[in-house]
Amino acid sequence: MKVLRAKSAGFCWGVERAIDIARDYAHQGRHPVYTDGPLIHNRQMMDVLSKEGIREVGDYQSKADIAVAPVAAGENPVMVVRAHGISPERRTYLKQLGMEFKDATCPDVGIIAGKIRLHAKKGYATIIFGDKNHPETIGLMGYTEGRGYCITTKADIDALPALNRVCMVSQSTMFMHEFAELSAYARTKFAEVLVFDTICQATKDRQTDVVSLAQQGAQAMVVIGGHHSANTVKLASLARLQNLPTFHVETAAELVPEEMKKFSVVGVTAGASTPEFLISEVCAKLEAL
């Protein structure tokens, strides 16, 4: 079987940066290294990190109170904020826990927060194209000064109250074509709309590569990553939009050889939280068929 691997498959630079920050603390002997929620949305990689002394506390949405054991002799704990970022209120809370605080928010997400905060202070309402339950969007809403709205459809825009000045941004992992369509629609509904394309380049590259793999002759697509990973789920959806049989798997063990043998050319991509060892295992299994 011929395997076409997307150039963009695997860790984005923001996720890799967050992992490196946490690992650096652990390798320096700082134990425990806590992360507010899962550092990345990949169960297998979190298992690897836990063995290195990096512990997930809190919850997926960075909302829950955190209970940590009293500091034992010789311990020097640190709290690391994951790449998704957090709200200003969550930041204040974490800093009061009595341990070193390290912000590993992806700089791309930090730029979005900065644009929201700047315009909120100028009196703009904020429209965020994103999943209201995703930790990135939850964190970004904290910068809107109470005038933030999360939307995913034109109907959501229609349901918004009358707004004069609007700052519109996107969660960093959304579909490019949907943001373009919705931001154009928002401009027809409100007097002043400032649109900032905040979909990160890593997301754009992944979406572009999926289309490219289809054009290169892929007869099916394998998308590797957590079943709960937002950007991985979107990649799988985009692959299906290319009219390709699509298999979303977390590991090579989920591949069914009898199914895959129907194809002679298969495209492989992976979400931004998928480690290289999982991608390599999937490619090797496919190439051996």
Q: Provide the annotated active-site residues.
A: 136
Give me the DSSP letters along 37-85: S-SSS-HHHHHHHHTTTEEEES-TTS-S----PPPPTT---EEEE-TT-
- Residue whose pair of structure tokens reads 């512990």 in the numeric block: 55
Helices (H), 67-130: 88-95, 107-121
Q: Is 104 exposed, middle or buried (0-12, 13-18, 19+ CB in 10 A)?
A: buried
Nearest to 156 by CA among 120, 198, 196, 127: 127
- Rounded Cα–Cα distance for residues 103 and 106 (Å): 9
Nearest to 82 by CA among 100, 109, 64: 109
Nearest to 234 by CA among 202, 262, 260, 275: 202
Q: Phi, psi at residue 58, to the nearest 5°?
A: 75, -145
**Gyration radius of the chain's alpha carbons:** 20
- Rounded Cα–Cα distance for residues 122 and 144 (Å): 11
What six digits make up the tokens of 155? 């109907």
- Residue whose pair of structure tokens reads 């395997």 in the numeric block: 3
